Amino acid sequence: MKKLPLVLIVSLALAAMLAGGYYWGLHSQTHATAITAAPPGRKVLYWYDPMTPAQHFNHPGKSPFMPSMDLVPKYAGQSNDAGSAPILRIDPRIEQNLGLRTALVRVASLAPELRVTGILDWDRNRATVVSARADGVLTQLYVRVPYATVRTGQALGVLQAPAWSAAAAELGAISDTSNSEMQSLHAAALERLHVLGMNDSEIQQLRANPSAGVILRAPVSGVISSLNVLPGQSVTAGTVLMRIDDPTRLWLNTAIPQAEIAGIHAGARAQIDIDALPGKLFKGTVAAMLPEVDARTRTQTARIVLDNPDGELAPGMFASVSLYPAVGKAYPLVPNNALISTGTDNRVILDLGKGRLEPRNVRPGRSAGGYTEILGGLDGGERVVTSGEFLLDSEADMNGALKRLTVPVAPTAPSKRKILYWYDPMAPAKHYSHGGPSPLMPSMDLVPQYGNTPASAPDSAGLQP
């Protein structure tokens, strides 16, 4: 016989311990029983084993799957709501063995913390562009590398524009302003230069030397985040030469899942953790929720404004963001581990006191901080079981919890059917020629495998003794 893998041995041992503990609890002198007294005037539709509710029987008695348990009646009109759920009575010793712990259901507003990620970017509201205000040639460029830092009034380059030079020469030719007609021409020439985009200081500079061109200066302090020209390049009016961004304030764009958008709005506070600066937290504020949902990722972008007075942060950095949505309506709150999900509904186990427990269907809402809102099914003030509850749910086998702990009992062999072999449900690939306790799991009995061959057919070969 081949050695079993270590993982299978450990799994079998754990299953044996759980099955043995549960089997002992069921065989205690005072074991958990369901109160199933028939209500007056109610019709019994069928009987069932609470551990396998999908199997129906037409008469009461002991469960064929668990002989120590009685079959439970199913009444006409009975549903799975709280009003018709069976009440379980648990002996204090068994309650202690199951490790039952409870928690009080309190009514409060859930203060969720939403964890998302984002990328730092420039604050476009603080961006300033330097453009060519006339057709010409950029004869000089004093800032030749991107991301250079500039100050307000710093010379950036020299633009020589024929239209500017001609207008400046015309203005210089009209030097006699004593004549009223000459005064009108002088005013018209000056206005023409203003229309061409020149200010008074540039006009004076150009009048002194019309062929020298105009020095372009930085309108604000910041970082040259975009540089689009080279020295000697010809440009047309309106060409963007460079863009200056303010590094003292940045944007943080973060994608929020559509299901988590509720409660996030402009003004919501945010706490930012930058991977490049571990241990240092930054605070920001949601400036806007962009009015568009990405059809591919089903997320909506939140724009967070983040101060950066020391210049530690830079666009492109990755950030982890904690958002704190607005506090909403108060609901009953239960610990997350008190919820039992069967795939079709959700429920909790109520502790009614004196060993009495009752399953209750609930409608959960949002979850945060280890708690879940209960939108329907609880009023608050109840006590719910927070551990061992899967052993108390009569339909927990729907998610496989109790099915793995139930020791299968071989049913009586049908007449005129041959038993091909016996097997251990934990290792179904290994076959045995007779029944009895499993050599792999002595606490479990081997299960027969039936065939459609007549009882007189010869035995199958290759069976383990």
Which pLDDT tens digit goes with each residue over 29-55? 333 333 344 455 568 888 887 766 767
User: Is 66 inside a domain boundary?
Assistant: yes
How confident is the prediction for the chain on average, in pLDDT? 76
pLDDT of 191 higher than 60 = yes
- Asked if 345 and 375 sit in the same domain, the reply is yes
Rounded Cα distance, 73 and 38, in Å? 8
Q: What is this structure's pTM?
A: 0.52
Which pLDDT tens digit goes with each residue over 89-106? 666 666 665 667 889 999
Cα four-point dihedral sign 85, 87, 90, 92: positive
- Asked if 222 and 275 sit in the same domain, the reply is no
- Asked if 240 and 251 sit in the same domain, the reply is no
User: Is 442 inside a domain boundary?
Assistant: no
Q: Which of 115-129, 145-159, 347-361, 377-391 has the lowest mean pLDDT?
A: 377-391
CATH code (residue 50): 2.40.420.20
pLDDT given at position 129: 93
- Asked if 316 and 348 sit in the same domain, the reply is no
Closest CA to 125 of 9, 288, 12, 257: 288
- Asked if 219 and 236 sit in the same domain, the reply is yes
pLDDT given at position 155: 92
- Asked if 89 and 150 sit in the same domain, the reply is no
More reliable by pLDDT, 319 or 407: 319
3-state secondary structure of 133: coil
CATH code (residue 192): 2.40.50.100
More reliable by pLDDT, 406 or 172: 172
HSE-up (13 A, CA, CB side) for residue 139: 11
- Asked if 261 and 219 sit in the same domain, the reply is no
Cα four-point dihedral sign 250, 255, 258, 264: negative
Phi first, then psi, for residue 391 (nearest 5°) are -80, -15
Q: In the predicted model, what is the mean pLDDT of residues 340-369?
A: 83
User: Is 15 inside a domain boundary?
Assistant: no
Among 211, 244, 277, the domain-final residue is: 244
- Asked if 318 and 341 sit in the same domain, the reply is no
User: Is 20 inside a domain boundary?
Assistant: no
- Asked if 89 and 166 sit in the same domain, the reply is no
Domain residues for the domain of 81 are 31-109+331-407
Closest CA to 385 of 334, 331, 332: 334
pLDDT given at position 252: 94
User: Is 263 inside a domain boundary?
Assistant: yes
pLDDT given at position 176: 57
pLDDT given at position 313: 92
Burial degree of 292 (CB within 10 A; 0-12, 13-18, 19+): exposed
Which pLDDT tens digit goes with each residue over 412-452? 444 456 888 888 877 788 888 888 888 877 767 888 887 75
Number of domain units in the chain: 3
User: Is 18 inside a domain boundary?
Assistant: no
Which pLDDT tens digit goes with each residue over 23-32? 444 444 333 3
DSSP state of 420: E
Token pair of 362, please?
A: 């609930």
Other beta carbons less than 10 A from residue 315's beta carbon: 17
Altogether, the residues listed in the chain come to a count of: 465
User: Is 439 inside a domain boundary?
Assistant: no
- Asked if 316 and 338 sit in the same domain, the reply is no
pLDDT bucket at 388, cuts 50 / 70 / 90: low
Q: Which of 5-19, 278-292, 385-399 has the lowest mean pLDDT?
A: 5-19
- Asked if 196 and 273 sit in the same domain, the reply is no
User: Is 75 inside a domain boundary?
Assistant: yes
pLDDT given at position 242: 94
Q: Which of 8-12, 197-201, 438-442 has the lowest mean pLDDT?
A: 8-12
Q: In the predicted model, what is the mean pLDDT of residues 253-268?
A: 86
